[in-house]
Chain A
Amino acid sequence: MKDHLRRMKALIVKEFVQILRDPSSLMIAFVLPVILLFLYGYGVSLDAREVKLGVAVQDQGKEADHLAAAFLASPYFRAHLSRDERILEQELMAGRLRGLVVIPEDFSRQVEKGAGLGRLQVIADGSETNTANYVQNYAQGVVATWWAMRQRDHAVDKQSGPQLLTRIWFNPELESRNSLIPGALAIIMAIIGTLLTALVVAREWERGTMEALMATPVAIAELIIGKLIPYFILGMLAMLGSVAISVVLFDLPFRGSLPALLLSSGAFLLAALGQGLLISSAAKNQFIAAMVAMITGFLPAFLLSGFIFEIASMPPMVRALTHIIPARYLVTNLQTLFLVGDVWPLLLPNVFILLLLAAVLFFLTARKTVKRLR
């Protein structure tokens, strides 16, 4: 037992020295998280603001002017007015406008007549599918508000009838940063856990230092644990640092407890490290390990974890696949810990699944890493 500990300690010290000597692993653990948090904290926002919209006013009447003014005043659009629809259509084609509202010639007359319908046309650039949805919805909103105001001016409507009072819990202002930053943390952890680990072990194989290790009395389990502990510590440090930055610099609330955070991220790291170790012992080549880690670790954490794209909206096959993506569980837990608190009935099953995934991955790694040379 004493020998075990001594050997493992030596391996861990060796791994730490390797990490500290190579600036690239420290960059990935401490610089990339800051860049990512910065981008998500200040830059990336899913709410459409100031979408560029063309308004073709073909009508000279008062009502058309009022409606055009409503589009100009809307905080959702940066509206460009023109009499000529064709100029705006060209701009839409070039991607300099995301949508186009056409107020036709007899619009004012039709509206003033009351009974007739003023027909408006909203054209969105469908090649930017999500923005097109926004354009359609917000244009509808601007027209509805303008219409309601007009009705009130003409003293028709009173505040009566059914109303819907919407309240958004946990994130009343709907700051998209609040749900994106937990996702960014999952990406960071996936890069450290899976990519870094996969590279490190593949390098030992590629350089032949693994053979040197095998010639020593080190057992496979010791070897795996010796790789695991340093990167686990590195990942946890990066995690705690990132959470501190999110709270201090980006004003994210943190409503959960530290033990719950440590438990969730620890369980995730185990699974991610297991994945990294499995990749490297199967690939034994840094190029392949990097490609596989990228494609099974980083991209799924980005696209399949549910922080940008809603999992429920995916087709059943893909939805089933997300169940074996560790990042999915971490994103849910982090979003809950940041914004809600310790909701144990939600957190614990996720932690349990992560541990289960980790166990399976370690089992496969141990089977794959045989102390034998080809």
Chain B
Amino acid sequence: MFNRIHALIIKELLALLRDKKSRIVLIVPPLIQLFIFSFAATQEVKNQTLAILNLDHGRPALTLEQDFTAASTFSEVLQLQRAEEIPAVIDQQQAIAVLWIPEDFSRDIEAGRAAQASFILDGRKTNAAQIVQGYALSILNSYRAKLINNGQQAGVSLVSRNWFNPNLDFRWYTVPSLVCILTTVIGLLVTGLSVAREREMGTFEQLLVSPLHPLEILLGKALPALLVAMIEGAFIVLVGVFLLRVPFNGSLLLLFGSMAVFLLAIIGVGLFVSSLSMTQQQAVLGAFMFLVPAVILSGFASPIENMPHWLQTISYANPLRYFMTIVRGVFLKDVSAAIVWSQTWPMAIIACVNLCAATWLFKKRME
């Protein structure tokens, strides 16, 4: 039995790696992705343009204007002359926001009345608008504190600390997340296409007339994919740690142990899709039907806690959700084996269900 599986594994690896183009495609693009996306996927907001319409020439208005232009979020400032210019500037996205200081601002401040400046934001970019609004309000707060207290401190002081990522460097967050996404893509596509390719090429019948048991065929399809995806995963981790300088504080054993369980769950999905499809095109598109929702529900781009409860319930069936938590935890937090285990056993259950479903479907489709 082992001889037969061994032969099948070698055959699968050859089918995958013999072609120069597919060797390149397995190695180069994931690395390029890792580099580009780890720099790109940042939710900080900087290098923004602010437009200022200052109709007041008093000193308080000038100070307020200076406080805004000094903020690091805004790298460019656009001076406006008239209120009529505002709609065009916002509509055409020449600036993310307009600070509008009315004529009587300084007079009101000096008279001790409420002095109102306006801050108009472009709501098309919800996330950026929200963050810039927060910055603007805190600039105003400190401006007000300067005015009222003449530098005296308020009654409560807040000490902010960030564990595991003291400077909130976004790359420390994206690189572990990309390790998960890229291994998913590789595991899914390699297995997803394997059975479908044989069907499409007609070599599947040859496999069926061989003495191989259906389970052996499936093992022969699953193990090479596991091997390739694990090696790729290790490679991506190495690049992340040594070239992109993301700290790795945890245990390698825990990382790769849980990665194997995770990949079995993904390979289960891939084999299921593959057994279902008659052609490679169906297999790829089927893999996408899984991949896109899985990435969205993984907590990578938006926190799972923000989702409605029914969707959070669905996300418990998503292996990517657990693996993201593990990889981030192992990279940055040096989490204990107990915590890794609490995220691994759900993946193990998912893996069992997926692999059983794939075997069942595979046997059924052979009849």
A interface residues, Cβ below 8 angstroms from B: 22-25, 27-28, 31-32, 35-36, 39-40, 42-52, 92-95, 98, 111, 114, 117-133, 136-137, 139-140, 143-144, 147, 159-172, 174-176, 178-180, 187, 191, 195-196, 199-200, 203, 206-207, 283, 285-288, 290-292, 294-296, 298-299, 302-304, 306, 308-310, 312-315, 317-318, 321-322, 332, 335-336, 339-340, 343, 345-346
| Cross-chain contact A312 with B296 (CB below 8 angstroms) | no
Report how far A317 CA is from B37 CA in the complex, Å: 12
| Cross-chain contact B155 with A147 (CB below 8 angstroms) | yes
| Cross-chain contact B124 with A179 (CB below 8 angstroms) | yes
| Partner pick for B43 among A309, A340, A345, CB 8 A cutoff | A309
Report how far A316 CA is from B117 CA in the complex, Å: 33
Report how far A304 CA is from B307 CA in the complex, Å: 23
Report how far A358 CA is from B99 CA in the complex, Å: 39
Which residues of chain A have C-beta atoms less than 8 A from B170's C-beta?
Answer: 129-130
B interface residues, Cβ below 8 angstroms from A: 19, 21-22, 25-26, 29-30, 32-33, 36-37, 39-48, 60, 64, 88, 90-93, 105, 109, 112-130, 133-134, 136-138, 140-141, 143-144, 147-148, 153-166, 168-170, 172-173, 176, 185, 189, 193, 197, 200, 277, 279-282, 284-286, 288-289, 292-293, 295-297, 301-303, 305-308, 311, 325, 328-329, 331-333, 335, 339, 342
On whether A27 and B163 interact (CB within 8 A), knowing A128-B303, A321-B36, the answer reads no
Which residues of chain A have C-beta atoms less than 8 A from B91's C-beta?
Answer: 336, 340, 343, 346
CB of A84, distance to nearest CB on chain B (Å): 18
| Partner pick for B47 among A24, A120, A129, A312, CB 8 A cutoff | A312
Q: 20 additional contacts, CB 8 Å, given A22-B279, A170-B122, A314-B39?
A: A28-B288, A45-B302, A129-B43, A143-B158, A147-B155, A162-B109, A165-B116, A166-B120, A169-B121, A174-B126, A174-B130, A176-B126, A195-B285, A286-B280, A287-B193, A288-B19, A295-B29, A295-B33, A303-B41, A312-B47
| Partner pick for B301 among A44, A125, A332, CB 8 A cutoff | A44
| Cross-chain contact B43 with A144 (CB below 8 angstroms) | no
Can you give 30 contacting A-B residue pairs, CB < 8 Å?
A24-B282, A46-B130, A50-B306, A52-B305, A120-B158, A122-B159, A123-B161, A123-B163, A125-B162, A127-B329, A129-B170, A133-B168, A137-B134, A140-B160, A162-B60, A164-B117, A165-B116, A166-B119, A172-B123, A174-B130, A175-B126, A195-B288, A199-B284, A200-B281, A309-B40, A309-B42, A310-B45, A310-B125, A312-B48, A340-B91
The dominant DSSP class at the A interface is helix
| Partner pick for B118 among A167, A299, A340, CB 8 A cutoff | A167
CB of A155, distance to nearest CB on chain B (Å): 15
Report how far A121 CA is from B126 CA in the complex, Å: 29
Report how far A154 CA is from B118 CA in the complex, Å: 30
CB of A135, distance to nearest CB on chain B (Å): 9
| Cross-chain contact A124 with B160 (CB below 8 angstroms) | yes
Which residues of chain B have C-beta atoms less than 8 A from A39's C-beta?
Answer: 293, 296-297, 311
Which residues of chain A have C-beta atoms less than 8 A from B112's C-beta?
Answer: 160-161
Report how far A11 CA is from B328 CA in the complex, Å: 50
| Cross-chain contact B43 with A118 (CB below 8 angstroms) | no
CB of B191, distance to nearest CB on chain A (Å): 12
Which residues of chain A have C-beta atoms less than 8 A from B133's C-beta?
Answer: 166, 168
The dominant DSSP class at the B interface is helix
| Cross-chain contact B120 with A24 (CB below 8 angstroms) | no
On whether A132 and B39 interact (CB within 8 A), knowing A286-B281, A312-B47, the answer reads no
Which residues of chain A have C-beta atoms less than 8 A from B335's C-beta?
Answer: 93-94
A-B pair count, CB < 8 Å, reads: 362
CB of A210, distance to nearest CB on chain B (Å): 15
Which residues of chain A have C-beta atoms less than 8 A from B197's C-beta?
Answer: 286-287
Which residues of chain A have C-beta atoms less than 8 A from B117's C-beta?
Answer: 162-165
Which residues of chain B have C-beta atoms less than 8 A from A345's C-beta?
Answer: 88, 92
On whether A161 and B148 interact (CB within 8 A), knowing A131-B303, A174-B123, the answer reads yes
Report how far A343 CA is from B122 CA in the complex, Å: 14
Most chain B C-beta atoms within 10 Å of own C-beta, residue among A180, A303, A313 = A313
Most chain A C-beta atoms within 10 Å of own C-beta, residue among B41, B88, B295, B311 = B41
Which residues of chain A have C-beta atoms less than 8 A from B148's C-beta?
Answer: 161
| Partner pick for B156 among A111, A131, A302, A335, CB 8 A cutoff | A111
| Cross-chain contact B116 with A314 (CB below 8 angstroms) | no
| Partner pick for A313 among B45, B155, B165, B173, CB 8 A cutoff | B45
| Partner pick for B127 among A42, A46, A122, CB 8 A cutoff | A46
Which residues of chain A have C-beta atoms less than 8 A from B297's C-beta?
Answer: 39, 43
